[in-house]
Structure 1
Amino acid sequence: MSALVEIAAVVERWRRNPAAFVREALQARPSKQQEAALRAFAHPGARVAIKSGHGTGKSTLMSWLILWALCCFTDVKCPVTAPTAHQLQDVLWTEVRKWGERLPSLWRNELEVTTDTIRFKSCPSFAVARTGRKENSEALQGFHAGNLMFFVDEASGIDDVVFQVAQGALSTPGSRILMAANPTRTSGYFYNAFHRDRDRWTRLTFSCLESPHVAPEYAREIAESYGEESDIYKVRVLGEFPGASDLQFIPSSLVDAAAGKHLSKDQYGFAPVILGVDVARFGDDRSTVAIRQGLYGNILWRGRGVDTMTFADKVATLWRGHAADAVMIDGNGVGAGVVDRLRQMGFAPIDVQSGSASALRNCINKRAEMWWRLRDWLRDGGSIPDDEDLRADLTAPEYQYTVKGLVQLEKKDDMKKRGLPSPDLADALALTFAVPVASRNAGAFERRTADDDYDLFAL
């Protein structure tokens, strides 16, 4: 085999595996966080968003991928942007120069790095730096190539108008984009990638606590100076968005404490098995089935575009498979079809009307009551999976008090006006609190009146 054929085979392997390129061509050892991002970006059409604490190596990651793109592809263009020239030239371009020196001589001798471009002397492909300011909204516009790869550093600081202008180029078939930032803002294109538009993105979080590139002393110093509950700690250490407004119904701290506890429902064999079923109203909503037994909670199934008959069959299968004592379904609107179908099949689902009267005197309706009980359950030690979508859903709704002092949860339509998706996963879990279930008796349920004791909700 000739040397050229061998080189072509190596490049082809690197093209499919950016992590192999980093390890072999650059002699670098990516962290587990960086490795996950490298895998995600390997696929044509990749959309990768990374929220990160300070110093986890996100700019290094971008420099690796820029060099990977130029070394492994022909007809490639890499528009690179950041809010400031400092971030582009003093940080990112410096990283490219440093790692470019480690390339094998075949590529290193061809590499040419100027103030705003990176290219190989004998190749038309290039990476170009463009500052992404509002007055420079064309930063990501007008690029055309067989392989387009966009890189956005400190994306939280990029004005939305820059992304809006870039939509044409970003829609090019097979184009890829990687954007990363300290998550300082709770609005904008970057924030929406983790919330309203989350299904379009591969979303990663680089916490300092899990990064080998960050000294443990850093997190301790931030915690001592500002507190672990502070927004500065969330953003700079955990790589999480700052806390929402005082109107947030379920605090992020409660959700963080509940996520990933690894409790098992087998620990709560004495407690009833309850399924909550939220039925999608619109095309971008998700039909969802949640389970709760004691302090154990989980999402069993989620999906879009499923009709009510098919979804009813799915619920029936899960009902039998988990020997549920009660299945509570949002019977509003299209949910009524699922309730009716299950009754035709011989089941006895509980039809929950979220707008009906609350059994709690401080809540305006059943929906506010269910979420109130869900919040109390989390405070009492409830466990949920470490699921980014479920986290977002639980912390999304705001609340207010009516003129009579009753708690009113934010409507889904109002959430959509704020750019947030329907909190379907959290709604399904909240539905498990609609009616108390008296005892563990597979396949049956017993309703209680509003005046009965509700201690079972603390299980």
Structure 2
Amino acid sequence: MLASPRLKPATANLSLPAKREYLALLEQRARLKREKAERERIEAEAGGWKAEIAKCAADPLYWFDRHVWTYDPRLVGKPGGAYVPFKLWPKQREFITWLKARVDGNEEGLCEKSRDTGVTYLCAGFALWAWLFVPGFKTTFGSRKVDYVDKKDNPDSIFAKLRIMLRRLPPQMLPEGFVWTQHDNYMRISNPATGAVISGEGGEDMGRGGRSSLYVVDEAAFVPNAETVEKALSGNTDVVIWVSSVNGMGNLFARKRHSILKPRQIFRLHWRDDPRKTQEWADAKQASFSDPTTWASEYDIDYSASVEGICIPAIWVESAKRLAALEPRLSPSNQGVTGLDVGAGKSKSVAVTRRGPVVAKPQSRGDPDTTETAHWGLAIAKADGAAFLNFDAPGVGAGVASTLKHNQVAGLTVSAVNTGLPPTERRWPDGRTSEEMFGNSKAEVWWLCRTALQRTHEHVAFIEGRPGGVEHSVSDLLALPSGDKDSDTLCLQLSLVKWEKNEKGKIVIEQKKALARRGIASPDYADALMLTFVDTKPAYSLDNV
């Protein structure tokens, strides 16, 4: 085979000036090609960032998922370091959605929280999202001390958290014209492109600094003279978000939580919502406190932790909420009891069905029409498979009774109950009768519920192998529902009511007037559950109403 002739270079026969001109032309073509490729890359990148920024502006959760970092000093020296992507847990995602709904609805909100659940970071992150993407939006943070709001180089202050997140954003996401030394100041970060601002205030001056789109009061339960702050905030914005761990009942935060705000305005973030925390972690953390009320208030969100005489401790309620997941032998009885607490005026009517140890999700209605309430209660009892329907007879309950008399349901015994009547002849384990122990039927049924929840707490501790655990018969326990607004309201109300002894030395339950003086609304959900513990007698017959 003959070898292929060697190709001659294109410049082989060119003169030196022509060769130089030809090579220059080639270099120019290469440069133009490189410049074109670079322009296309920049345009593609710019288009990509334009689309990315549009997605972030439309959805704060999308922005959190892709661009937000947080700081945890406990991770210093460990793989990955102390700065980590902010991976929201499901309940934190719900919080961001809830917070945006308060802003969009132009209404007040309250978040009760366990310590170390990241709520301050969540609020700061939402404020930064609005600062980036909502022109003219102004978020103000307030706390009882200015150092809690902004103290540079202190990662525990709110503005330090803002700066941690802001400094780790992609450069393409920073506002046009933003200069750190010019636009990041003490208790003020401004967006030169949109006019959005994040500002801060502290102490009794909170709320007096102009107007805001959103105002976050941090650790609100600990703010002194909170009523004065509230008055100032009334002229600042409609969207005030009160954020705090709890500090008993004697403060504005607690009153707003229990008597003023509507369920949609309230958010709860408990340590159990954190997928990183286990019961073992909780036991070790709780054991580290010398005062048990510290754990109860700061982590278990127990408003009654430091209140003497609470009938049902919140920690017992928490155990009852977990019982169903821990006890496989738990099952509802065949015959259930529905308790119907009839509301008057603005108060809700609430129905709760208990089938042995299992409490169904409560249901409520705000319509004051007693005829419709009667039919509604009957329908719930029937749907829940109840054999008995107990309703409170005094007051507005009399209107329900007249309807129930003429609308009997086969297989359902309806009883009008007056818990102000004397207790039954029940004998308790210590040998005493209910008549000897209690001032009225109301105290007796609350004590029956209290006893069931105490046994539940001991049984759960037994299952989990914790100190104080005692195994009980499953039929003596009480499993409470949770995870929805009505169920959570029931669980909360159970641990707010106090007991005491009257002048005869008998146990009585705190009356509604006394609860109101403590800033607590009528515990309608708890009262509905208590009606399921009433042993109906001929005295409770509809014929006697």
TM-score normalized with structure 2 length: 0.71
Alignment partners' CA distance in 2, 1:58 and 1:108: 24
SS of 1:276 mapped into structure 2: strand
1:200, distance to aligned residue in structure 2 (A): 5.2
Q: With a CA cutoff of 8 Å and minimum separation of 6, indicate the structure with the bigger relative contact order.
A: 1
- Identity percentage over the alignment? 19
> Judging changes above 3 Å, is the alpha-carbon distance between structure 1 residues 5 and 423 closer, same or farther for their aligned structure 2 residues?
farther
Please identify, of 239-248 and 378-387, the stretch whose mean Cα deviation from structure 2 is larger. Answer: 239-248
SS of 1:238 mapped into structure 2: coil
Q: Structure 2: which amino acid aligns with 1:93?
A: F
Alignment partners' CA distance in 1, 2:329 and 2:158: 50
Answering whether residue 94 of structure 2 is matched by residue 36 of structure 1, we say yes
> Judging changes above 3 Å, is the alpha-carbon distance between structure 1 residues 210 and 334 closer, same or farther for their aligned structure 2 residues?
closer
Q: Structure 2: which amino acid aligns with 1:394?
A: L
Contact 1:55 1:214 in 2 (8 A): no
Answering whether residue 232 of structure 2 is matched by residue 165 of structure 1, we say yes
Segments of 4+ in structure 1 off by > 6 A?
1-9, 213-218, 263-266
Alignment partners' CA distance in 2, 1:269 and 1:123: 59
> Judging changes above 3 Å, is the alpha-carbon distance between structure 1 residues 24 and 225 closer, same or farther for their aligned structure 2 residues?
closer
Answering whether residue 194 of structure 2 is matched by residue 94 of structure 1, we say no
From 338, 343, 352, the counterpart of 2:417: 352
SS of 2:235 mapped into structure 1: helix
Answering whether residue 221 of structure 2 is matched by residue 156 of structure 1, we say yes
Specify the alignment match of 2:250 in structure 1: 187
Specify the alignment match of 1:336 in structure 2: 398
Specify the alignment match of 1:24 in structure 2: 66
1:330, distance to aligned residue in structure 2 (A): 0.3
Larger Rg, first or second structure (1 or 2) = 2
SS of 1:349 mapped into structure 2: strand
TM-score normalized with structure 1 length: 0.83
Alignment partners' CA distance in 2, 1:331 and 1:300: 20
Specify the alignment match of 2:296 in structure 1: 234
Contact 1:47 1:201 in 2 (8 A): no
Please identify, of 63-72 and 233-242, the stretch whose mean Cα deviation from structure 2 is larger. Answer: 233-242
Deviations 1:388-444 (A, max 9, x none): 3112211122122111111121111221222101100110010011225xxxxxxxx
Contact 2:143 2:217 in 1 (8 A): yes
Q: Structure 1: which amino acid aligns with 2:164?
A: K
- 5+ residue gaps, structure 2, are 1-42, 69-84, 152-156, 425-433, 455-475, 541-545
- 5+ residue gaps, structure 1, are 437-446, 451-459
Contact 1:183 1:242 in 2 (8 A): no
> Judging changes above 3 Å, is the alpha-carbon distance between structure 1 residues 209 and 335 closer, same or farther for their aligned structure 2 residues?
closer
Contact 1:255 1:378 in 2 (8 A): yes
Alignment of 1:209-224 (within 5 A): 209-211=272-274, 219-224=282-287
Contact 2:208 2:236 in 1 (8 A): yes
> Judging changes above 3 Å, is the alpha-carbon distance between structure 1 residues 331 and 3 closer, same or farther for their aligned structure 2 residues?
farther
SS of 2:288 mapped into structure 1: helix
Q: Structure 1: which amino acid aligns with 2:230?
A: F
Specify the alignment match of 2:477 in structure 1: 381
Alignment of 1:439-450 (within 5 A): 447=537
Contact 1:51 1:240 in 2 (8 A): no
Alignment partners' CA distance in 1, 2:277 and 2:357: 34
Alignment partners' CA distance in 1, 2:214 and 2:232: 16
From 249, 272, 276, the counterpart of 2:311: 249
Q: Structure 1: which amino acid aligns with 2:417?
A: V
Answering whether residue 174 of structure 2 is matched by residue 104 of structure 1, we say no
Contact 2:121 2:161 in 1 (8 A): yes
SS of 1:259 mapped into structure 2: helix
Please identify, of 118-127 and 102-111, the stretch whose mean Cα deviation from structure 2 is larger. Answer: 102-111
1:270, distance to aligned residue in structure 2 (A): 4.7
Alignment of 1:424-443 (within 5 A): 424-435=524-535
Contact 2:211 2:235 in 1 (8 A): no
Please identify, of 209-218 and 118-127, the stretch whose mean Cα deviation from structure 2 is larger. Answer: 209-218
Contact 2:362 2:525 in 1 (8 A): no
Specify the alignment match of 1:259 in structure 2: 321
Alignment of 1:293-372 (within 5 A): 293-347=355-409, 348-359=413-424, 360-361=434-435, 362-372=437-447
Q: Structure 2: which amino acid aligns with 1:117?
A: R
Answering whether residue 145 of structure 2 is matched by residue 84 of structure 1, we say yes
> Judging changes above 3 Å, is the alpha-carbon distance between structure 1 residues 289 and 20 closer, same or farther for their aligned structure 2 residues?
same
Answering whether residue 206 of structure 2 is matched by residue 206 of structure 1, we say no
Q: Structure 1: which amino acid aligns with 2:447?
A: W
- What is the number of equivalent residue pairs in this alignment? 428
> Judging changes above 3 Å, is the alpha-carbon distance between structure 1 residues 335 and 152 closer, same or farther for their aligned structure 2 residues?
same
Specify the alignment match of 1:409 in structure 2: 509
> Judging changes above 3 Å, is the alpha-carbon distance between structure 1 residues 129 and 151 closer, same or farther for their aligned structure 2 residues?
same
**CA RMSD between the two structures:** 3.1
Deviations 1:325-355 (A, max 9, x none): 1110101111111121011112452010122
Alignment of 1:386-397 (within 5 A): 386=482, 387-397=487-497
